[in-house]
Structure 1
Amino acid sequence: MQGHCPDSAQTPALIALSRERHATRRWRKPAEYGFARARRLVPLVLAEIDLAAAAMPLVFAQGADNDLPQPVAVLRLTAETSAYVSDDGRWLAPYIPALLRVYPFSARPAPQDDATGPPRMELLIDEGSGLISDDANDARFFDPYGAPSKALDAVIGFFRHYETSATATRTAMQALTQARTPDGASLFTPLRHGDTVQQGLLALDRAAFDALGDDSFLHLRAAGAIPLAMAHFISRTQLDWLGRAERALAQQPDPPNTAQDSAAGSAKPDIADFLSALAIAQQNDGQVQHAAPITTTKGTT
């Protein structure tokens, strides 16, 4: 299950949720997104790639050992904190990645008692989040009989749908990883932003992708990989925007004579004010606060 952020430096200490440890305890949803301010990456699945790619860079985190690369949203490049989170914890982008919406929960595959049975998952919680309490106004984890509460059932349902989409995502990533151009070249290349290689991150080479033969392209389409690749290519423009946002928020000038400066002219918008205005507009129409959960649609969730 893709429930953990590949950026290990930003992964919280997660504890398995259990009746023994949490039978009488309660939890509440975060009132803001300050917990994501220092995160660099957050995993994505196919169900959310279109919305995510319209709001932030979608690239690929290298897997450990022989693990598949994983689609991730880049929340910051060189800044210590993300431009997508305001100083007072407001989320400023038009889309909130699914795993941030379900915080302080995460999940991972659980040991299988029966290899032929359906996959099992273990629910995890960040006990350092400040969201675990004994306050009677907060939601219970379990009812008095030890069964998951209605609130916890909703979280479990979220992760079941999420895992369905994560499985489809792994299928797409396996196809992209195995694909080769007619001369045997891989589609993946180290991600560069300007003159800097972003350590641990990969991009798809557009020229290599376009050089694929018809059979390879059809295989990628059957695996559901084409929408993922297209979302990645389109979202790459967000890297330039994110870099400009980070410089503006740090009150640093843009490098001279960039292609984007040439196209936009010499005027430099106040990106911090723009982000805040965007967030206010989204809050007014409820799109961010009431972001829909992942739901099943035609093979993905």
Structure 2
Amino acid sequence: MATQLLIYGQVEAVNKKRHQDWSIKAENNYDFAKNVNSVPLMAAEFPHAAQDYAIVFAGEGDQVLPVVIMGIKQDQNLYVNDQGQWVAKYVPAFVRRYPFVFASTDEGETLTLCLDESYSGCNKENQGERLFDGDGEQTQYLTKVLSFLQDYQSHYQRTQAFCKKLAELDLFEDMGAKFTLPTGEERTLTGFKVINKENLKALQQEDLSQLFNSDGLELVYLHLHSLRNLNKMLQNAGSEQVNIDEHGSVH
């Protein structure tokens, strides 16, 4: 992914001087994510996400991460309906942590909690959960937010290690998927990677054992199985069945 701030607008560091009187009112509305066709996914989320989404990989070099595909067009999320509701049972943690996010200026050595101030639930009318109490101390709500993001960051690092191992084993290949819309228009979804099953089968026993012992092999098969969900996603778009190019074999 080019940026980790896909769904964020006006991001500011959370501090007691700026946000002393701020509250966050949670809203069951995901319009903030309706214009992204993929978001990062942590490895720990694979078992849940594989039931609803196609899990693929995006990025280059050391920046490859798992993502879930949510639309055919670049600015389309088929998992958010016209009422702003999420239409799948599982909502990725990347989306659930909004409007908060960690930011860093030193490659992750120091993390700063930030808030998207453009979020419609931000207010100074004491609606929802306050960030700081009357004494300027962080509230229990803000403590829980920090805990969630710290946990997310730990999973992010483990996920990076998992993807680095897959790259070392030369298991990635570019994916190409063609869709036919009801109008007859054809679209091609590119820019993602999948696991090459032939390379997976050709792994040395030692590499295969390491992948198995680290639970990486289970994640690989969850990824491969999840690709069937491309057709489930297309049903939301009214498209015909997906056709995967041989050059990006995902049968």
- TM surpasses 0.5: yes
Query: 1:58-69 maps to which residues of 2 (within 5 A)?
Result: 58-63=55-60, 66-69=61-64
Q: Structure 1 residue 239 and structure 2 residue 236: aligned?
A: no
Q: Is the 8 A contact 2:41 2:93 kept in 1?
A: yes
Identity %, equivalent residues: 23
Describe the SS at the equivalent of 1:129. coil
8-17 vs 71-80, which deviates more?
8-17
Q: Is the 8 A contact 2:178 2:189 kept in 1?
A: no
Mapped to 2, the partners of 1:36 and 1:255 lie a distance apart of 25
Q: TM-score, normalised by structure 2?
A: 0.83
Q: How many residues align structurally?
A: 236
1:135–1:9 Cα change, 3 Å: closer
Query: Once superposed, which parts of structure 1, at least 4 consecutive aligned residues long, lie more than 6 Å away?
Result: none
* Matching residue of 1:12: 8
Q: TM-score, normalised by structure 1?
A: 0.70
Deviation, 1:158, is 0.6
Mapped to 2, the partners of 1:244 and 1:193 lie a distance apart of 15
Mapped to 1, the partners of 2:85 and 2:231 lie a distance apart of 22
After superposition, the C-alpha distances for 1:171-204 in whole angstroms (9 at most, x for unaligned) are: 211111101xxxxxx2111111138663431111
RMSD, aligned CA: 2.7
Q: Structure 1 residue 150 and structure 2 residue 137: aligned?
A: no
Structure 2: 5+ residue stretches without partners: 180-186, 245-251
Deviation, 1:243, is 2.5
* Matching residue of 1:95: 90
* Matching residue of 2:80: 85
Q: Among residues 177, 187, 196, which one is paired with 1:193 in the alignment?
A: 177
Query: 1:1-301 maps to which residues of 2 (within 5 A)?
Result: 6=2, 10-13=6-9, 14-63=11-60, 66-78=61-73, 80-109=75-104, 111=106, 120-179=110-169, 186-194=170-178, 198-246=189-237, 248=238, 254=240
Mapped to 2, the partners of 1:119 and 1:224 lie a distance apart of 27
Mapped to 2, the partners of 1:105 and 1:225 lie a distance apart of 29
Mapped to 2, the partners of 1:103 and 1:30 lie a distance apart of 11
Deviation, 1:78, is 2.8
Structure 1: 5+ residue stretches without partners: 113-117, 180-185, 260-301
Mapped to 1, the partners of 2:36 and 2:156 lie a distance apart of 21
Mapped to 1, the partners of 2:13 and 2:156 lie a distance apart of 20
Q: Which has the higher strand share?
A: 2
Mapped to 2, the partners of 1:105 and 1:172 lie a distance apart of 25
Q: Which letter maps to 1:169?
A: T
Q: Is the 8 A contact 2:104 2:110 kept in 1?
A: yes
After superposition, the C-alpha distances for 1:23-61 in whole angstroms (9 at most, x for unaligned) are: 222212122112221111111112211100111111111
